[in-house]
Copies of this chain bind each other. A is one copy, B any other.
């Protein structure tokens, strides 16, 4: 199992990834992850966008049905099956039913994810043929996990996997896209597998909590996708039951690893930018303030230009609807203070931001101990390029 860092790393999970023909490029565009048991515990977190894919509706229901559990996740890339009306919903259900049929499972045991262009009908002939082709490819090898991790990519430049090895149990995972609740392109998807013995309540609570502090703090451009889905499956195959604390910490490590990979592969990224806010009244206010800076285009362009224009930070954070002392805000770039008491520190304009990673720390001076970090990127020519002709 050495070197297996993906969804097939835990015992009792198989996977496959193929080129079904949905992508014109001929790249892999269909992935399947199967839980061979014994248990079929599942949890999921999904987009909060009111306009969402039929796949999200289907998967939400599958995860909510704790009696049946989830035994498989079928994922296509190249088409989001969002804004496709009643036909789109029927297609998502057909993907679920077809996969269930091929795996001899009840339909409710299959979750469905789609990612790609919004508003195009899914080519169901290709999808159905793909499902027939992918099932025989299922395997527990490292390569099978990598094939699946490749099959879910869209504009990602590399696959994202993560693994955690406990004492006798393992968590494996794969992801694509950028930023749960705030993805760069159409979708952030993740599938997490574990052979630990955990119950549904623990898996749900751990996933919800961990997502808030990992995927939900990756915020590339504030856009929430129609398809965001994180699905975790636990089968108890290891026969080992970690404590809730141990499992949650492990899940956090895996999701934080994936989140960092998503941030680093965001569209057009030339710099990853971590924004930490301290001195806030509450952690929630700190997060709100950090998001306001992370989403500010003027700030993001300045980062692209390695321009230590700390005034952009002040102008952005001043818009956040949170408590602050407008005369007592402090800012650090890469640990060097550039602003104190809301005014520039001598030498602030000479701060060196030429590296590929920029850490910005902002103290709101509100006297509280609230703090939070948001993970974003710069705004580059390439971001504009990629997103100026996505559909055409």
Bound together, the chains give a CA A387 to CA B302 distance in angstroms of: 6
| CB–CB B225/A304 < 8 A | no
The answer to whether B311 touches A391, judged by C-beta atoms less than 8 angstroms apart, is yes
CB pair A311–B343 under 8 Å, yes or no, is: no
A side interface size, CB within 8 A = 69
Q: In the complex the two chains form, is A384's CB within 8 Å of B381's CB?
A: yes
- Please choose the segment from A117-125, A130-138, A236-244, A256-264 that sits at the chain B interface, where 4 or more of its residues have CB less than 8 A away: A117-125
Q: Which residues does chain B contribute within 8 Å of A310, judged by CB atoms?
A: 83, 119
Chain B residues, CB < 8 A from A368: none
Q: Could you tell me if A381 and B381 are in contact, using CB atoms closer than 8 angstroms? A: yes
Residue A221 interfacial (CB < 8 Å): yes
A316: interface (CB < 8 Å): yes
Q: Is A224 an interface residue (CB 8 A)?
A: yes
Would you call the interface of chain A mostly helix, strand, loop, or mixed? loop
- Chain B residues contacting A85 (CB-CB under 8 Å) are 327, 341-343
Interface string of A275-319 (1 = CB under 8 A from B): 000000000000000000001111001101101111110111111
The answer to whether residues A318 and B391 also contact, given A83-B339, A298-B221 and a CB cut-off of 8 A, is: no
Q: What residue of chain B has the Cβ atom nearest to residue A224's Cβ?
A: B319
In the assembled complex, the Cα of A169 lies from the Cα of B223 at a distance in Å of: 48
Residues of B within 8 A of A94 (CB): none
Does A52 touch B at the CB level, under 8 Å? yes
Bound: A306/B189 CA distance, A: 28
Residue of chain B at shortest CB distance from A225:
B315
Contact A49-B319, Cβ < 8 Å, known A311-B391, A348-B119: yes
- Is the Cβ of A223 less than 8 Å from the Cβ of B51? no
Do A344 and B223 contact each other (CB < 8 Å), given the known contacts A297-B387, A326-B50? no
**Residues A326 and B388 in contact, CB atoms below 8 Å apart:** no
> CB within 8 A of A119: which of B297, B311, B316?
B311
Question: Are B221 and A391 closer than 8 Å at their CB atoms?
Answer: no
What is the bound-complex CA distance between A389 and B302, given in angstroms? 6
For the A-B complex with A119-B310, A223-B315, A384-B384 known, give 10 more contacts whose Cβ atoms are closer than 8 Å: A51-B314, A51-B318, A85-B342, A88-B343, A223-B316, A223-B319, A224-B319, A226-B311, A297-B387, A307-B388
Q: List 27 A-B contacts (CB under 8 A).
A: A50-B324, A82-B314, A83-B314, A83-B342, A83-B344, A85-B327, A85-B341, A85-B342, A85-B343, A88-B343, A185-B298, A222-B295, A222-B296, A223-B319, A224-B315, A224-B318, A226-B311, A226-B314, A297-B383, A298-B387, A302-B391, A304-B388, A307-B392, A308-B391, A309-B391, A349-B392, A383-B384
